[in-house]
Amino acid sequence: MLSYPLSANAELRALEPWNAAEFAEFIERERDHLGPWLPWALRLTDEESTRAWLQSYADDQAGGGGRIYGIWMDGELVGGTLFRVFEPRFGSAEIGVWLGEAAQGRGLITSAAKRMIEWCIEDRKMNRIEWRCVPTNKRSIAVAMRLGMSRDGVLRGAFPLDGVNHDVEVWSLLASEWRAKTGQD
């Protein structure tokens, strides 16, 4: 996948170490918007730390594990997605997502996540796609619901962020549910 179209003017493609300067600028612009939900948005404060983080995903991907993508709209980096966990041995993967404030409300993440789920299930024969978020993240929960996920439960105090141990909601979609939803059964 060099590039996957999400809309007439937006695309999903690999976010790689050579994109570090662009990604660091994006984080700097959006830190107040992303920081309440994503620990890396507080931790990555310059090009060097951002490149190291992207390199860790590149290394993971080379080993068959997690991977990270960017979303570009009209040529500008406006968001991204990742497989934070990617475990073919167990048939499961976890998707994470983010958008700059102004790029919200266009369905970009729903369409990117659908493509990622389709790839996991159809190409990689995964059985379970997971989505984790804090209970107060209503926009994230709305995406999980839009994707047809079910709420498995809550991991109490499992997510330390900015000095607070937040609860984490776990949502998931199974391959059988995806196939029933897309009419492939």
Ligand X SMILES: CC(C)(COP(=O)(O)OP(=O)(O)OC[C@H]1O[C@@H](n2cnc3c(N)ncnc32)[C@H](O)[C@@H]1OP(=O)(O)O)[C@@H](O)C(=O)NCCC(=O)NCCS
Binding segment (CB under 6 A) for ligand X, from list 47-55, 93-101, 117-125, 150-158: 93-101
Binding to ligand X by residue 133, rule CB under 6 A?
yes
Measured between alpha carbons, how far is residue 59 from residues 16, 36, 56, 69 in Å?
A: 10, 27, 5, 14
Q: Which are the contacts of 29, defined by CB distance < 8 A and separation ≥ 6?
A: 100
Structure tokens at 145: 């619901």
Residue nearest to ligand X (CB): 107
Binding to ligand X by residue 182, rule CB under 6 A?
no
Report the alpha-carbon distance of residue 16 to residue 43 in Å, rounded. Answer: 18
Binding segment (CB under 6 A) for ligand X, from list 15-23, 45-53, 102-110, 117-125: 102-110
Strands 128-133 and 92-99: parallel
Binder of ligand X out of 99, 121, 129, 149 (CB under 6 A): 99
Chain centre to alpha carbon of residue 26? 16
Q: Tell me 126's DSSP state.
A: -
Binding to ligand X by residue 49, rule CB under 6 A?
no
Binding to ligand X by residue 95, rule CB under 6 A?
no
Max Cα-Cα span within the chain: 48
Binder of ligand X out of 27, 97, 116, 121 (CB under 6 A): 97
| Stretch 3-32 residues interacting with ligand X (CB under 6 A) | none
Report the alpha-carbon distance of residue 63 to residue 55 in Å, rounded. Answer: 12
To the nearest 10 degrees (0 to 180), the angle between helices 47-62 and 20-34 is 100
C-beta closer to ligand X: residue 19 or 81: 81
Binding to ligand X by residue 106, rule CB under 6 A?
yes
Binder of ligand X out of 92, 110, 127, 182 (CB under 6 A): 110
Binding to ligand X by residue 137, rule CB under 6 A?
yes
* Site residues (vs ligand X, CB under 6 A): 34, 37-38, 97-99, 104-110, 133, 137, 139-140, 142-143
